Amino acid sequence: MTGAPEDVPIRDESIRLGQFLKLANLVESGSEAKPLLAAGMVRVNDEVETRRGRQLQSGDVVSIAAQSARVATGEVKDDLPAAELTRTVAEVFLGIFFVFASAAYWIWERDRAQRLLCSLLPRRHAQTARDTWELIDLKLGAYVRGQALLIVLVGVVLVIVTVQNETVGLAAALLYAVAFTVELGVGVATYFGGEAKA
């Protein structure tokens, strides 16, 4: 006999059984749900259910062995705990740092990396690898410079939108700020790296 089912709120009017099993932590993954459904171990409203795509509505009770959960409508909490928010912010800053570090390494150490790669290849393939490396370097630099120009244009549009509607403009500018910083940094690094090499 299962205990009292735990209410699990959903965002929409209905949810598929496979999704609900994961949401309610009755299974770890979809791959775990499939054999349980096939074996008839999942019950919906005390009836065996084998369809992973069955639509559940508010009030439906899903049971697996001694665990059960009830589909509930209501407010789904979206706020992140402080630790998770801090971790996310740290990951963003680390990502930005590593993009700049990679760009700096590429500027100052690419010749050494190219020599190392070519030394590992047979002589007859070394020149082809070197030519391919140079072509990729030129194309990548052109792409990043193009992205930097695009960032400037989008920045101008965001300034115009902000003047018209502060809330929308500021939200869009904030979302675009990280991409602007990263791509501009990589674009400048690639541009000056290409100039130094020439």
pLDDT single digits (tens) 58-92: 888 888 888 888 888 766 555 556 777 788 888 88
Q: How many residues does the chain have?
A: 198
> Where a domain ends, among 73, 90, 119?
73
Q: What is the CATH classification number for the domain harbouring 61?
A: 3.10.290.10
Higher pLDDT, 172 or 143: 143
pLDDT of residue 163 exceeding 80: no
Backbone angles phi and psi of 15, in degrees to 5: -150, 145
2 falls in which pLDDT band (50, 70, 90)? Answer: low
User: Is the residue at 1 inside a domain?
Assistant: no
Residues 100 and 164 in one domain: yes
User: Is the residue at 182 inside a domain?
Assistant: yes
> Where a domain ends, among 16, 38, 73?
73
Which residues lie below 8 Å from residue 23, measured CB to CB, with a gap of 6+? 8, 10, 15
What whole-number distance in Å separates Cα of residue 180 and Cα of residue 148?
8
Residues 87 and 146 in one domain: yes
Distance of alpha carbon 179 from the chain centroid: 14
> Where a domain ends, among 73, 94, 123?
73
pLDDT single digits (tens) 29-49: 777 878 888 888 888 888 888
126 falls in which pLDDT band (50, 70, 90)? Answer: confident
Which residues lie below 8 Å from residue 6, measured CB to CB, with a gap of 6+? 24, 68, 69, 70
Residues 30 and 64 in one domain: yes
Number of domains the chain is built from: 2
Residue 141 identity: G
User: Is the residue at 16 inside a domain?
Assistant: yes
Instruction: Show the domain range for 43.
Output: 6-73
